[in-house]
Structure 1
Amino acid sequence: MTPPMPLPPGALSPADASAWTRIRRFAVPGWMIERATEARLAGDWRAACAAAAVDVPDDLDPERVAERHGPEVAARLADDLRHFAPDLLRWHFPRTLGGHTTFAVGRRVVLAGYGTDGPVLSVTNLPMLEGPQRLRLDLGPARRADTLHGVTYLQEDWTAARRFWDARRSAELRLSAGPVATGRLPFLHPDGTPLTSDELPDTDPGPSADPATRAEWIAVLHSRGEHVEAYAAAGLDLDRTPVPPRTRSRYTYPELDVAGLVTHGALDLSRLAPELRLLWNAGRGTSFRLPVHWRGELWTTLDVTDADAPVVRIAGRERGQDDAVPFLPSYIRQHLPDIQLLREGRIRPEALHPLVTAALFPEAAPATGPAGPRAAEPVRVRCGGVWHEVVSRDGVLDVPHTREEQQREQALRAFGGTISGCFATQLAWTTGEGRLPRALQAQRRELFEYVQHGDIPAVMALLDAGWDPHVRDRRGRGLLHLLHLLDHRELLPRLLAAGLDLNARDRAGVTPLQVAVAQQGSPALVRDLLDAGARIDVVDEMGLSLAQVIRQYQRRDLAFLRRRVLKEYPGLGSDWFEGYMDERSRDEDPGWDEEPEPDQHQDQDEDQDQDLDRGQAQEPDPFGDADPFDKDEDASV
């Protein structure tokens, strides 16, 4: 078996590089950056958040904040919000990877703190792998509950990394690329083109080398397996004293070799010291731990005995030895993906976020951001011994066959016959079943990536260009099934006018209404589906009715639908579920099933109409009106 080719020094894995390439293309579209930037520069931070799909609760208002926390906190908050770049935050928000381009599930990122015991500004996302890609801004206590819908939220502290969200500090993004204040960045030429392997140092360039060359040499040592030498080259004091053996459950584990621990992980050692100094200056302490092994972790300590020349000391520890020591923030542990993509030639500086390009390449021309959707190209299909071209055109996947030929193939399939060539391709495109040419798979994946990231302008542009709206993904989900991911008000009428079946089921037997209910679709979407004729006498693959799913997720905002289902279809659903939920009723939120205020829906519609008038239409907050962390505020994160 041929061994895998070693990765370049400090490079992303092929899978992660592919995922980040798609993230940079789809997750933060150019129009979002443009609108959010225009609103921010005009002083309208709420409009900037709306453009970048960041939901803002009503109580996050400087006047109301002053009432709760005093005028000083309100003034500092107002100053931060005035320079808040929500599109830049989305650009850097943690991602799942592993083949996905969505946000990391259940993250809470603390952006700023206001006083030792004061509130913190933070942002959270929904605890769903493929849910709506919206964020929620929040101001509240620093110690918050860490669960929502039974999912544990992981907290990250960005108070010492304002470069990821504060437009005033975005120039500091160079620190995330390497310890280089000016000049070229590690692994790149000044114009952003990558260095070749022959241009990397193969011997120690010496202490007088420029910082970029020094960082490259450290990465080369890592790639050679000379990890201890890499720590020394980075000026880090590595304590190689073995971690003593430990007995657990009558079994004594051998001592841990620190030289072995440092082989795990991919720390950018050249950035560690300056990042730790920033954490210290921000009052976040001097000691942090980094889990690298199922038994062991590395402890990093900034020795500030000499404040003018602090020293980074690293030692091995047994995991769980002192959980009070915080974890090293992930943005320090991980490489900046933009640099890695540039190194591999997967992206150009002009396709980055403009603030990122300005920070990394200050001499470069202004960036335009990610490109928009591309027109569908014809794809060759083998049909009857010859090559034909198929293409999305005029709302269908067009094939070069007469109407009579198409009717004959449809009749053949209706009577159980086997179809092939262009007709089999059409069937796979509109059902999600069967094989598609790779080029068509790529086109389909592109459309559904835009949908996943809520890019309604891109989806509408593709439909305007003639894309077939009947396309389905490999799970049999069509555009109607995914309306909860984007602003549906313009798209839903268009899909219905194109003849899409409102009650179509995907391969799991689920209808668009069921998906909207289970996947945090807004009440406005649910009401519009009902008004269009969506059936409510349906059950999912577990036999649960819509009323039972609403109870399962405690969707108080859909109480109107639950009552309707119970009234019109009593007894529908699984018998075991109600008994199971009754046993768990003590864990339910008291009053979750109470009727909302009578004018709530009307007020919501009026607010949406006002948003439309301002050109800032957006879906209602999928988190609901309540802060998801309102409960158990004294619980430690």
Structure 2
Amino acid sequence: MSGALFRSDWRNIRRYAVPARMVAECAEARQRGDWRAACEAARIDVDIDPDLLVEAPVAHLAPDLLRWHLPRVLHGSTEFAARRLHLLVPDSPVGPDTVLLTVRSADSAHGSQRLRLGAVRGAAVLLDGPAAPFPAYFWDVRSIGRLPAALGSGSAASDRRAAFAAAGFEFTAGQDDKWRSADRNRVLTPLDPWRLAHDTRWLAARLGERAWTVSDNSYWQPNAFRYLTVFVDGDTTRVSWTTTEGRPCIPIDLVCYSADQELIRQGQLAPGALHPLVRDVLYPDAPAEPFVPTDGEVVRVRCNGVWHAVEARLGRLDPLAHTLDERRRERALQAFGGATGGCFAVERMWYGGLGRLPRRLREYRAGLWQRLIHGGTRTLCELLDAGLDPYLRDGTGGTLIHRIAAFDHREMLPRLLAAGVGLDTVDKEGYTALHRTVQQLGPADVIMTLVDAGADLSIRNRDGETVLDHVRKAFRYGDRLRPDLRAALVHLREQAP
């Protein structure tokens, strides 16, 4: 989960996930002391008990900095992992009565990128529960100066045990086979021992906990080991393999090699493109270079033996070399199943047809979708007002309704339907928006809204499965199924003929 392993994901995250407008609006709100406005600019909902709010350290929170540093799904995604709860640990000792902030991601994957800010008294949610620690230098403007020391050593070393020794770790005796197995399976490749040493010592000093377990079951390889535990005792830090998960835990994606430093080292990110607060402490002399998305793209495609220009702008594809009559004739031919080529084949693929678009068009479309997903409802409305094609498709052939969970669906669904986007349009795999949302165990309120809007339950995907088939699969999760999702699926099933 390091920048070294997922550079393309992190490059897109740095381009789109915390846009320059968000950073500027958050900075302005902080300057006038309006932390709520800063949270809204950073797409963070506030859900703090009024009794805790008076003691919560909200005045020093930089919501955009928090958003910059939170872990992501990766593996081709720039989004937050679903149902992740982080405890924001301050740069001071934490007692049982200390009020701490929490931040939670959405309940489902491919959903809204809005976060929810809460507060708890004491660190029990971390020590006894599901939360992951998030140190102050990732979110508190007073602690950002600690970031250079916290970001670790840089590039990954091939000899992992030697790297741990260089970071000051001592080793539990009799575990040589575990280390050899870990090296052979490359399961520790993303973990930065220097960063792990720094964070465990820092957390131990603030929370008083001396044993920290590093775990991420999605990343550990079978038959290699289970858990890595760090024991902090004064200036001594010892590392040991264990067979059971301990508490508290540090997810491995919090102690990986720095994605920012890796991207800069590889020449894929300019120091000036970092978040301003990060740039000022890591590269204080670098001029600001915020990423500016392109408005459009023009590519040349081979058409009837010659090269033609095709322009993509605001989600619309325009075969510039062809007249309106030629375009109508080709589209009529497609409607009757006729074969198309050249510019019109590219146009067909742009709007969900099978095939592979030219690389620059794929990149432009992917970037446009990233702007929409991370900009949310506000950005989508602005671009629609500016002429964005409401029939825009993504790389899977999905429409804006397929990704409606990323936006305020109560506001956007009526607008998209009024613009002519089909509620039951299928993607390349034959999934409707409802079908895909159920298959991904998406937000319950989105499922309810699509059902109540009249989504067709009988459409089969390319595997011959209907929405109800995926409802049956979902119920196999039993008690692990979210209660709100269970209620939504029951409501869906009641609408079946």
Specify the TM-score bucket, using the shorter chain as the normaliser: 0.7 to 0.9
Counterparts of 1:553 and 1:512, CA distance in 2:
20
What's the CA shift string for 1:357-411, capped at 9, x where partnerless?
Answer: 112123334x464x24312121111111111111135874211212222232233
Match of 1:418 among 339, 350, 353: 339
* Equivalences, count: 470
Distance verdict in 2 for CA 1:433–1:354, change over 3 Å: same
Gaps of at least 5 residues in structure 1 are 1-9, 66-73, 147-152, 179-214, 244-254, 305-309, 573-637
| 2:210 maps to amino acid | T
Could you state the TM-score of these two structures normalised by the residue count of structure 2?
Answer: 0.80
Give aligned-pair identity as a percent: 36
Distance across 2 between alignment mates of 1:126 and 1:29: 20
Match of 2:442 among 511, 516, 519: 519
| Inter-partner Cα distance in structure 2 for 1:396 and 1:324 | 53
- 2:204/2:210 contact within 8 Å kept: yes
Distance 1:43 1:558 in 2: 41
Corresponding letter in the other structure for 1:311: T
Q: Which residue number corresponds to residue 277 of structure 2? A: 355
Please say which structure displays the higher CA radius of gyration.
1
Q: Does the 8 Å CA contact 2:424/2:455 hold for their aligned counterparts?
A: no
Q: Structure 1's 498 and 384: CA in aligned 2 closer, same or farther, altered over 3 A? A: farther
Alpha-carbon separation, structure 1, partners of 2:249 and 2:286: 36
For 1:90, the equivalent position in structure 2 comes to: 67
Which of 153, 159, 172 is 2:146 aligned to?
172
Cα pair 2:2 2:258 within 8 Å, conserved: no
TM-score, normalization: structure 1?
Answer: 0.64
Which residue of 2 is the match for residue 133 of structure 1? Answer: 113
Say yes or no: does 1:55 pair with 2:35. Answer: no
Counterpart-to-counterpart distance in 1, 2:109 and 2:315: 31
Q: Deviation string for 1:107-138 (max 9, x for gaps)?
A: 11011486326654211112322111121112
Match of 1:189 in 2: none
Aligned to 1:281: 205
**2:222 maps to 1:311:** no
Give 2:358's aligned residue: 437
Structure 2 unaligned blocks of 5 or more: 476-480
* Structure 1 residues 249-273: Cα deviation after superposition (integer angstroms, max 9, x where no partner): xxxxxx7354665675144334454
Q: 1:599 corresponds to which residue?
A: none
Q: Which residue in the other structure is 1:589 paired with?
A: none
Query: Cα deviations across residues 42-101 of structure 1 (Å, max 9, x unaligned)?
Result: 2222222121111122xx254x33xxxxxxxx5431xx1111111111111111111111
Cα drift, residue 343 of structure 1: 0.7
Residue identity in the other structure for 2:442: Q
Shift in Å at residue 486 of structure 1? 2.0
Which residue does the alignment assign to 1:447?
Answer: 368
Q: How far off its partner does 1:500 sit?
A: 3.0
Match for 1:317: what amino acid?
A: W
Aligned mate of 1:337, from 226, 251, 259:
259
Asked if the contact 1:375/1:465 (under 8 Å) is kept, the reply is no
SS in 2 for 1:453: helix
Aligned partner of 2:286 among 353, 357, 364: 364
- Cα deviation for residue 23 of structure 1 reads 0.7
Once the two structures are superposed, residues 447-470 of structure 1 have per-residue CA deviations (whole angstroms, 9 ceiling, x without a partner) of 222233244455456556655432
Q: Is the CA contact 1:19–1:97 (under 8 Å) kept in the aligned structure 2?
A: yes
State the SS of the aligned residue for 1:122: strand
Distance 2:83 2:21 in 1: 27
CA-CA distance at 1:325 after TM superposition: 5.2
Please say which of residues 490-499 and 421-430 is displaced more in the overlay. Answer: 490-499
1:116-265 correspondence runs (5 A): 116=96, 120-140=100-120, 142-143=123-124, 154-158=130-134, 161-178=135-152, 215=153, 222-223=157-158, 225=159, 227-234=160-167, 236-239=168-171, 241-243=173-175, 256=177, 258=179, 261=182, 264=186, 265=188
2:402 maps to 481
Q: Give CA deviations for 1:474-532 in whole Å, capped at 9, x if unaligned.
A: 332112332331246776676456543344333455555676787327579949x97xx
Superposition map of 1:455-470 within 5 A: 455-456=376-377, 458-459=379-380, 467-470=388-391
Select 1:402's aligned residue among 308, 313, 323: 323
Structure 2 counterpart SS, 1:479:
coil
3-state SS of paired residue (1:167): coil
Cα displacement (A) at 1:327 = 3.5
Deviation, structure 1 residue 168: 1.5
Please point out which of 418, 424, 427 is paired with 2:348. 427
Structure 2 CA distance for partners of 1:396 and 1:27, relative to 1, 3 Å: closer
Q: CA deviation at 1:239?
A: 3.4
